Structure 1
């Protein structure tokens, strides 16, 4: 999957594309709300990234959890079915893309998103790592969703936006028994540390010899920190592929509900070339990165 070190293009922010399509994702379930109400929109968003050149698309399960769906009135059974549906919809988008593009050189992969505990809490704690939860509760939360997603047709697991050492330790343990390969990516506060202040080099060392984790990386992190973070990953786990898909780096202004900063596709392409030179294998985007950015990244680094 990552063994030949050729550049691999990831997708961008699924929620960003859904909002661009005009969908309201303001509920506690975020993009996962559309798994029930507008599954066609999720397929269309995945397809937009595939058409832009993405070779890996990530399912709409980032903020999906049994507890979260139950809180919105779904049954336990319905909640599990909707989490499974997130992968099915990504597979449907892939099928449509491959039918329309039979000459494609590389079959796109579907990664089942495993978001952090904080994402399901819908309180922003995935960006701080401040959790009011025990290690046993954290393990139970992740194990429940892993069991569901490991039984789907996903090609691999994407454990994303991990902000704490404790959560990394939990996933390192659980993933050892997974039938699927995985990547683990961290949310970082600067060019050296993840959100809870732990050095990235220290947390990546947990996975240095991990048998199921093929790649380590960063996401939902400002792009100006990424080159430094790539170096930290390579020092800590030199045999793992490096995967990076940061946000746009823009600043959100609550008082005016607006953004400022550079959100041009050219900036994404320039960054991608630098990250590739620094040692990243897989490159894409997160919040505020849409299909036009992914197309620019593809044109800049794909071979």
Structure 2
């Protein structure tokens, strides 16, 4: 992935669940959008296609919550769980191939295997903020088979994303280095507004730990408010020379009374904020919760005018 940054910053895709919801597909179960890969494969492939058409150069597989233990715990057979993980890669690759065939585009397009945290295994809300403490081998047992299936199905790299727990990211990186020597990953943390991982680890400490690990190609943050990006980037840049990746949410505000999210006219778009992020040293930009192909299209128009600093 890093070699694609020689000329300009890189645009990755945006949210999957938001687009599936627009099509009437239920994404509110504990498996979120993952079941759509089995039940609505054409819809998932279509969303990936929309992001390529919008200008994204990286599609992230719909496997964020799809660890084998999580799928089996939700009632799937082991065979079906394995098939679903493989399907998430096949759908992204088919979207890439179809886009290339129809558009004639020759720009490099990558498939990143989405690897979410152990937090997604539990219904306990406290787990979503990194409030768990497994051993390194336990984390690795949890993640291993999903990574094996993603790699065998042909992902170009892994996306270790929305990671709230420092020890878990150490376990993932050790697993990557020991069992997937031909693969790389980006590592993206989930942080609070004080600049700490949700388990309390300072962001600077977590980032600096991975500086000497070459298979971690890029490092950054995702699933946070756009307004928080600059502060996090300033922290990250002080302790790493790796490319910095950010993919925030769309800036929506949650209304507790209506239980809905909304974006008002005063909410800045990702594209309007992107020049500041690029100037601050960001090399890879995309979107997380609530972001759409339109958001990525606007981002791509900004990024494509920018050369790497």
| TM-score (normalizing by structure 1) | 0.93
Cα deviation, 1:171-228, whole Å, max 9, x if unaligned, reads 2211213221110000110252222221111001121011211000111111111111
Match of 2:2 in 1: 2
The equivalent of 1:119 in structure 2 is 120
What's 2:230 paired with?
Answer: 227
Moved more, 90-99 or 222-231: 222-231
Partner of 2:160: 159
Question: Relative to structure 1, is the Cα distance of residues 5 and 232 closer, same or farther in structure 2, using a 3 angstrom cutoff?
Answer: farther
Instruction: Write the distance in 2 (CA, Å) between the matches of 1:131 and 1:294.
Output: 34
* Superposition pairs of residues 74-223 of structure 1, within 5 angstroms: 74-102=76-104, 104-125=105-126, 127-131=128-132, 133-177=134-178, 178=180, 179-190=182-193, 192-223=195-226
Where structure 2 has 5 or more consecutive residues not aligned to the other structure, the ranges are none
Change (3 A) 1:126 1:286: farther
Q: Which residue of 2 aligns with 1:259?
A: 261
Compute the RMSD of aligned alpha carbons.
Answer: 1.9
C-alpha offsets along residues 68-121 of structure 1, whole Å, 9 cap, x if unaligned? 22233322122112111111110011011111111x241211100000111232
- In the alignment, the residues of structure 2 paired with residue 183 and residue 82 of structure 1 have an alpha-carbon distance, to the nearest angstrom, of 23
TM-score by length of 2: 0.91
Alpha-carbon spacing, 1:230–1:106, altered in 2? closer, same or farther (3 Å): same
Q: Distance in 2 between matches of 1:122 and 1:12?
A: 25
With over 3 angstroms needed to count, the CA separation of the structure-2 counterparts of 1:155 and 1:284, relative to structure 1, is same
Secondary structure of the residue that 2:269 maps to in structure 1? helix
Unaligned runs of 5+ in 1: none
Report the secondary structure of 2:172's partner residue.
Answer: helix
